[in-house]
C-alpha cells in the first residue's frame, strides 16, 4: 500500500494565523497523525523543581509538551477473577506465612503450584494452620485452614498429612525453609512417601535439583511431595483466583503431649541481629541527633542500623552497618533516614519487601528504590513520628 502524498500548500494553509500584516503560522497545530512538535521551554518549565536556590530539573517525567489534544476517556479494565468449579485434580501448597502474611518465598511456592495445576486443568489449594491474607492474588483456588497448636510440629504434621490424604492431592509443595522443610520431612514420614527436596527448576513434566556438591543434577517426573527452594519459580502474576474456603476433611487427632503450655516471647529489637530483624530503621549522613534516632527506633520497635558513612565516623557500631560490605538484610520493612543510597547500600536492602526513605534530595537513589518516599529533612521527621506515636498511644 503506497503512502499518501503530502500536500504542502494544504498544510501551510492549516497553519496560517489570520489577522496579521505579515504571514504567520502556528507550527504547533499539526495535522492529525503527525508527531507534535516539541517545546523545549515548556518542558523545562514543567521539569523545574520549585523552591530551590539553584535551578534544579526533575527529569523523571519526560512527557513532551505539545498542543493539547482532545481528552479520551480511559476505561480501566476490571480485574479478572478466575473460578475453577470442577478441577481435574488438586495441587496443595503449604506456605509458612508468618503472622498470616505471605513471604516472597511463599508466593513463589504458590506460583510453582500454579504451574503444575494449569498444565492439566487442576486447582491449587492452600493448606495452612491459620488465616492468610492475599491467597487469591497469589494464585490459590481453594483455602483450607487446619486447627493445630503452633508449638506442636508433630501435631501439625499429622493434621496436614491427614488433610492431604483426604483431599487426594496429586502434588503437595512446601517451602525449603527451616519450618517448611522440617514439616515436609515429618509429613513424608507419616505418609510413608518419598520426598524430593530443594527443587530449583520446575515444569509440568520434570523437576530438577543439584546433588553431590552441585556437581550433578538430578531430574525426575514431578513427585507427590516436594520442597521448593527460594527463587526457583516466579510468583503468580495476572489473574486473581477465587481462594474459596473449604472445610477440613479430617480433624487432627488429639494425643498426649509433653508440652502443657507454650508462649511466644518476642525478642528485643535492640539485640536482634540485623540479618534476622524484621523491621530495621537506619541512619545516614542526614541524621545528626542520634539520641532522637535511638528514641525513634525504640518507639517503632525496630532494630537500629546505619550506613557506612555513619559507622566510619564512629557514630554507630560497625555491627549496625547495612550494605554489601556490612549486613545484607531480608527484613519485611526498611526505614532509611537521610541515606542517599550508595550502590553497596542498595545491594544490602535488595531483599527487603518494603522500603521507606526520608531524604531532602528528590533525586537520591534511595528515594527511587523506596516504595514510600518522604522528601524532607530527617531531623524534622523523626520527632514528628515520635510525637504522632505518643499521641496515638495516649488516644
- Confidence (pLDDT) at 143: 95
Q: What is the largest CA-CA distance in the chain?
A: 103
Query: What is the phi/psi pair of residue 377, to 5°?
Result: -80, 125
Rg over alpha carbons for the chain, rounded to the nearest Å, is 29
Question: Could you tell me the CA-to-CA distances from 132 to 83, 102, 199, 218, 226 in Å, in that order?
Answer: 19, 7, 24, 34, 21
Please check whether the two domains, 81-246 and 274-394, share a CATH topology.
Answer: yes
DSSP state of 92: E
Place of cell 468449579: 85
- Confidence (pLDDT) at 36: 66
Domain boundaries, the chain: 81-246, 274-394
Distance CA 317, CA 311 (A): 6
- Confidence (pLDDT) at 255: 56
Q: What is the pLDDT of residues 383-392, one digit of tens each?
A: 999 999 999 9
Cα torsion through 222, 228, 229, 231, rounded to 10? 100
- Confidence (pLDDT) at 79: 64
DSSP string for residues in 324-336: TTSB----SEEEE
Q: Looking at the chain, how many residues does it have?
A: 395
DSSP string for residues in 308-370: HHHHHTTSS-GGGBBSTTSB----SEEEEES----HHHHHHTTT-SEEEEEES-TT-HHHHH-
Q: Which of 270, 289, 268, 267 is nearest to 281 (CA)?
A: 270
Q: What is the pLDDT of residues 325-348, one digit of tens each?
A: 999 999 999 999 999 999 999 999
The stretches in the chain having pLDDT less than 50 are: 67, 69, 252-253
Question: Could you tell me the CA-to-CA distances from 142 to 73, 113, 137, 222 in Å, in that order?
Answer: 37, 12, 12, 21
244-246 sheet: strands from edge to edge: 196-199, 225-228, 171-175, 90-93, 123-128, 142-145, 244-246
CA 345 to chain CA mean position, Å: 19
Query: Quick one: cell of 155?
Result: 501435631
DSSP state of 321: B
Q: Helices (H), strands (E): how many in the chain?
A: 11, 19
Which 3 state secondary structure label does DSSP give 91? strand
DSSP string for residues in 39-73: -HHHHHHHHBPTT-SS--B-TT--PPP-PPPPP--
DSSP state of 100: G
Q: What is the pLDDT of residues 280-322, one digit of tens each?
A: 999 999 999 999 999 999 999 999 999 999 999 999 999 999 9
- Confidence (pLDDT) at 77: 61
Residue 207 is inside which H or E element, if any? strand 207-211
Question: Could you tell me the CA-to-CA distances from 25 to 5, 20, 66, 109 in Å, in that order?
Answer: 22, 10, 16, 63
Which are the contacts of 149, defined by CB distance < 8 A and separation ≥ 6?
155, 156, 262
This prediction has a pTM of: 0.68
- Confidence (pLDDT) at 28: 62
Which 3 state secondary structure label does DSSP give 236? coil
Q: Which CATH number fits domain 81-246: 3.40.50.20, 3.40.50.300, 3.40.50.620, 3.40.50.920?
A: 3.40.50.620
CATH level 3 topology of 274-394: Rossmann fold (3.40.50)
Amino acid at each position: 500500500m503506497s503512502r499518501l502524498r503530502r500536500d504542502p500548500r494544504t498544510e501551510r494553509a492549516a497553519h496560517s494565523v489570520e489577522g496579521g500584516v505579515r504571514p504567520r503560522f502556528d507550527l504547533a497545530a499539526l495535522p492529525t497523525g503527525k508527531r507534535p512538535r516539541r517545546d523545549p521551554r515548556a518542558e523545562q518549565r514543567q521539569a523545574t523543581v520549585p523552591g530551590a536556590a539553584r535551578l534544579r530539573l526533575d527529569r523523571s517525567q519526560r512527557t513532551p509538551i505539545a498542543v493539547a489534544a482532545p481528552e479520551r476517556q480511559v476505561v480501566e479494565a476490571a480485574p479478572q477473577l478466575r473460578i475453577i468449579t470442577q478441577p481435574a485434580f488438586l495441587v496443595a501448597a503449604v506456605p509458612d506465612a508468618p503472622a498470616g502474611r505471605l513471604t516472597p518465598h511463599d508466593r513463589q511456592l504458590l506460583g510453582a503450584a500454579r504451574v503444575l495445576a494449569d498444565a492439566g486443568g487442576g486447582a491449587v489449594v492452600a493448606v495452612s494452620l491459620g488465616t492468610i491474607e492475599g491467597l487469591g492474588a497469589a494464585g490459590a483456588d481453594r483455602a483450607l485452614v487446619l486447627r493445630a497448636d503452633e508449638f506442636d510440629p508433630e501435631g501439625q504434621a499429622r493434621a496436614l498429612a491427614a488433610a492431604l490424604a483426604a483431599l487426594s492431592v496429586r502434588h503437595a509443595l512446601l517451602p525449603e525453609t527451616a519450618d517448611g522443610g522440617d514439616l515436609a520431612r515429618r509429613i513424608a514420614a507419616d505418609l510413608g512417601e518419598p520426598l524430593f527436596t530443594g527443587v530449583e527448576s520446575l515444569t509440568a513434566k520434570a523437576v530438577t535439583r543439584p546433588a553431590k556438591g552441585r556437581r550433578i543434577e538430578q531430574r525426575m517426573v514431578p513427585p507427590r511431595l516436594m520442597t521448593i527452594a527460594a527463587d526457583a519459580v516466579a510468583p503468580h502474576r495476572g489473574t486473581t483466583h477465587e481462594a474459596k474456603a473449604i472445610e477440613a476433611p479430617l480433624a487432627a487427632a488429639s494425643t498426649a503431649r509433653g508440652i502443657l503450655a507454650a508462649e511466644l516471647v518476642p525478642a528485643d529489637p535492640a539485640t536482634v541481629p540485623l540479618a534476622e530483624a524484621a523491621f530495621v530503621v537506619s541512619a545516614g549522613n542526614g541524621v545528626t541527633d542520634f539520641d532522637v534516632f535511638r528514641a525513634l527506633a525504640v518507639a517503632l520497635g525496630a532494630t537500629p542500623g546505619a550506613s557506612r558513612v555513619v559507622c566510619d565516623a564512629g557514630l554507630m557500631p560497625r555491627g549496625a552497618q547495612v550494605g554489601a560490605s556490612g549486613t545484607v538484610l531480608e527484613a519485611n520493612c526498611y526505614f532509611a533516614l537521610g541515606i542517599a543510597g550508595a550502590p553497596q547500600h542498595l545491594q544490602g536492602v535488595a531483599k527487603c519487601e518494603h522500603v521507606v526513605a526520608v531524604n531532602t534530595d528528590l533525586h537520591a537513589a534511595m528515594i527511587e528504590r523506596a516504595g514510600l518516599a518522604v522528601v524532607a529533612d530527617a531531623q524534622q521527621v523523626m520527632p514528628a513520628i515520635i510525637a504522632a506515636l505518643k499521641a496515638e498511644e495516649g488516644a
